[in-house]
A and B are shown apart, each in its own frame.
Chain A
Amino acid sequence: MSRAKQASTTAKGVNRRQFLATSAKAGCAVGLVGLGVTGVAKSSRLDPLAIRPPGALAEQEFLSACVRCGLCVEACPYDTLKLARWFEGAATGTPYFTARTIPCEMCDDIPCVKVCPSGSLDQALDDIDQAKMGIAVLIDEKNCLNFKGLRCDVCYRVCPLIDDAITLERQHNERSDHHAMFLPTVNSDSCTGCGKCEHVCVLEEAAIRVLPSAIALGKTASHDTYIDTESTTLEMLNKGFEI
């Protein structure tokens, strides 16, 4: 009985025309708000050089998945992670770090990934050495002390994957024509992007910097047959021998 009465009171004598008109107006107004929010959110971006935590999905998927809860920030024992601020648009509240300030210490148990409820930090990452937060790039050879023939080596020494992610490549020193130079060289296959090299670089502005992989890495065209040069060459040689 009371339900029938309720139905008649909620209708409040609004006829179909009024209902359609208000719905259309409200729908349009709210739709415009939505478009505005999305447009502005998408146009203001996080610093393109900001580094995401270990296991982070590609940027677009990351922005879909991350719920901005800050659990990773609180899980990090080194205060490495920060949340993006409001004027950084769609990225607001998402975690990142600045390697020059505090780099990733590459905890074995990866607490930031473990605690992530949204899957924006991929739980499949169980070995921190496999992380791909970014790629270190020796961006300024002119000012790097090792390129001047000195033995600074700090970035090499501090690298958690020393002799793998960063190696020192010996080269003849043309300037003295007598000595050797030991050039820090990043192996992009093993570099995790932890940023310890950038953090410790002794120069006022770091000569080696971690860049997001999307910026640091080139990409072979998918139609290129030389993607896997080694096996292609072997195959060609083997075939040659068969003939």
Chain B
Amino acid sequence: MSQAKFAQAAIDELGWFKAHRFLLLRRSCQLIVLSLFAIGPWLGLWLFKGNLSASEFMGVVPLADPLTTLQVFMTGHLPEISLIVGGALIALFYALAGGRVFCSWVCPVNMITDAASWLRRKLALPRIAELPRNLRYYMLAMVMILPMLSGITAWEWVNPVPLVYRAVLFGSLTGLWILVVIFLLDLLISERAWCGHLCPTGALFALLGKVSPIKVSATRASACDNCMDCFEVCPERQVLKPALKGSNPMIVDSDCTQCGRCIDVCAQRVFQYQNRIAIKAENNQ
């Protein structure tokens, strides 16, 4: 069974499309969000202005990246009210929608690191260096402290998330080598090094996601046949075991990016998305 081709069981059982459904949905979502920003400067259709760091929806609703907003505060500069409201709206949205949902459904860097992970699996590359998972929280602390010491939002120079958006929207291609470095780091040095261990944006969204009601749950954990396909594909595989083997089937670890790949690749239909508040309400009735 474990020697079989990756996810073949799920493809046989569910069909190719259903076995890739959340992957396809996520890719579409990532590209649609990018397109909604890009049709402004490209075609003059201004639905969203700005980029993921700060933007304006329909010329009215301000939106902003909570990490960027916090960095500005840390420099000691008090931004305009629109940036504060924008940062709060986005923080609230991801606190409700599931924190690292940003990482797997919106962030453009995910396409690059997923590609590295896919290639790594195809080439059966060995794991070499294992970084500690909590390194990202040290990175987050560093990103918060740097503006206090230097007075500038230094992280925004190397932050790969806005780099992609600036490249697509404004044609600033010169910083893209950082994405090449991230791809090679993920491919050759350490598996899922960037998104799974280092990225401070992901760390902040993970913290926000702690309160989120939406979680992936191993509702049919008893049906699990230990094929390990979900472990193979999961970008944060440490979150799976407590749900599959523990007493609480819900993946409560906020490292989970809610990408839904475990749902896709499982022939036994073990996993599904759940709203834990709705379930609590049901149980209380």
A residues in contact (CB < 8 Å) with B = 2, 5-6, 9, 22, 26-27, 29-31, 33-34, 37-38, 41-42, 60-61, 63-71, 73-75, 82-83, 85-87, 89-90, 92-93, 115-120, 123
Contact = CB atoms under 8 A, between A and B. Distances in A.
B227 to A, nearest CB: 24
Given A68-B162, A117-B64, A119-B78, A90 B152 contact: yes
Nearest to A26: B138
B146 A38 contact: yes
Nearest to A85: B174
B93 to A, nearest CB: 17
Interface SS of A by simple majority: helix
Interface in B42-86: 46, 49-51, 53-56, 62, 64-65, 68-69, 72, 75-80, 82-83, 86
A118 B157 contact: no
Interface of B: 40-41, 46, 49-51, 53-56, 62, 64-65, 68-69, 72, 75-80, 82-83, 86, 132, 134-135, 138-139, 141-143, 145-147, 149-158, 162-163, 166, 169-170, 172, 174-175, 242, 246-248, 252
Given A64-B77, A74-B49, A117 B151 contact: no
B146 A37 contact: yes
* Interface pairs A-B: 7 shortest CB-CB: A86-B175, A64-B75, A69-B54, A86-B174, A117-B83, A69-B50, A30-B138
B72 A74 contact: no
Nearest to B41: A74
A93 B146 contact: no
B138 A123 contact: no
A119 B64 CA distance: 14
